[in-house]
Amino acid sequence: MTVINDQPPYAAEEAWLPYRPDVDGPWTTAEAAHLYRRAGFGAPLAVLREAAEKTPGQASQDLLTATEPESFRQLTAQLARAAVASGDPRSLAAWWMRRIISTPAQATERLVLFWHGHFATSAEKVTDVDLMLQQNELIRTHAMTEFEPFVQAMARDPAMLLWLDAATSRKAHPNENFARELMELFCLGEGRYTEADIREAARCFTGWEVRRRQFRFNRYQHDSDEKTVLGRTGLFDGQDIVRIVLEQSAAAEFLICKLVRYYFRDEIPDVAALCQPLIRQYRENSMRLQPVLQTMFSSRLFYSRWCQGFRVRSPVDLAVSLLRTFEGSANTVLLSQRTQEAGQGLFFPPGVQGWDEGRAWINTSTLLGRSNLISGLLTDSSTRFSGKAPAEYCREVLAEDPQQAIRELQTALFARSLPGATLESATQLLRQRSDQSLLEALQLLCSIPEFQLS
């Protein structure tokens, strides 16, 4: 699978202008499918057709502002309590997988998944399931809001403090882990600070503790003397340092460039230059993401051929996109285990850096896991497509007119055209109408390289 590292088709000031159907390109169900695959996790064809009746700007706005009804939130909270009561982080992973599959607010949940990798915290070390749930809900609350309050909240999050050993940082022995990741992974990126900045910032977070599953400030263990961080000197505490770090010009560039790679394309040459208009917009909106995301998902660049089909799907994306396309449900305990085997376990990121995106998802150790992920999903007795077993659904919906069904599946599921041989083989399998042949048709479509890309 080769990803061509070529230049974007527009200069920076033109790339983020609104996409104009019939001038910049078509606006059809296929473009709506691209929007839902990238900003969310995909959608059934009826939803995509409805989105194609709107303007690109309206379709993206509706997707970004969708909310969960009260009944959904109540049921989700009830299931979360059951997961916490189990004391097993795998139950919590299954709970979150269910939410990703079924939430009406899928653009928010896509962003929550991004932040989970950005502020990576693992249940491998933080074994208190309730704290991991608290962090997950905190991320969801702040996902599209101003970044400074978000980072301030994460700095006091008990799971984060335990994960980075900040809860035992004392003025006599400051722990540098959180200060380092605040600058390197969360806000600035490598090369934008010095080791002296790390040492001084670590002193600011001394005395930040966790007591009874809550943040507590221990003033007796806090270093209240003067510190110098990033060229500023004062009697700083942790809140001051978060603010100072985010005042650096590199902060907006670091995050926006990371988001553009996440949503647009795995490899982008000179990404900082391309993102300058978005970076300005982000700063002008007090580092609030929703206006920037609206610009991104209604832009000329987003709907260009340069963008479509150049993101490698993560294991969660791979499975959830299939289920959401068919209005599906599954045994989320098994499904979350299988995504972990394929390289992406919810609540189990591999380290402080989160998951490596892009082509890192595809290697000899994960290919088998990705194949097992899809085949296990299709053959599991609890999997349902629109309330039906997958074979029954295929017989009733896809096998009546196999050629038309394949065309519709290509629109909804695939960012790239399918090879002729694959189309012919899948069509023939659907025509046979046996349970085995119907499932083989879906497994064939979901095993080809084109399905790995969104």
C-alpha separations of 343 from 95, 318, 367, 373 in Å: 19, 12, 10, 11
332 is a domain residue: yes
| Number of domains observed in the structure of the chain | 1
pTM to 2 decimal places:
0.96
Short-list 143, 166, 169, 139, CA closest to 154: 139
Sign, CA dihedral 87-114-312-76, equals positive
Residue 100: pLDDT over 60: yes
- Classify 39 as helix, strand or coil: helix
pLDDT at 369: 85
Structure tokens at 371: 């194949």
Residue 412 lies in a domain: yes
124-139 residue pLDDT tens: 999 999 999 999 999 9
**pLDDT band at 4; cut points 50, 70, 90:** very low
What tens digit of pLDDT does each residue of 362-404 get?
Answer: 888 788 888 889 999 999 999 999 999 999 999 999 999 999 9
Q: What is the span of the domain harbouring residue 326? A: 315-452
Q: Closest Cα to residue 71, out of 36, 39, 102, 110?
A: 102
Q: How many angstroms from the chain centroid is the CA of residue 384?
A: 24
- Look at residue 58 and tell me if it is in a domain: no
Percentage of the chain surpassing pLDDT 70? 99
| Residue 289, pLDDT above cutoff 70 | yes
| Inside any domain, residue 427 | yes
Sign of CA dihedral 381, 386, 388, 392: negative
Helix-then-strand count for the chain, H and E: 24, 6
For 238-257, the pLDDT digits (tens) are 999 999 999 999 999 999 99
Residue 358, domain member (yes or no):
yes
Rounded CA-CA distance 234/375 in Å is 59
- Residue 118 in domain: no
Nearest Cα to 249, choosing from 179, 189, 176? 189
CA distance 304 to 25: 8
22-26, 49-53, 359-363, 422-426 — which is least confidently predicted? Answer: 359-363
- pLDDT tens digit sequence for 152-211: 999 999 999 999 999 999 999 999 999 999 999 999 999 999 999 999 999 999 999 999
Per-residue confidence (pLDDT) for residue 381, from 0 to 100:
95
Whether 416 is covered by a domain: the verdict is yes
pLDDT at 1 over 50: no
Residue 370 lies in a domain: yes
Q: How far apart are CA 236 and CA 56, in angstroms?
A: 46
Q: How far is C-alpha 125 from the chain's CA centre?
A: 22
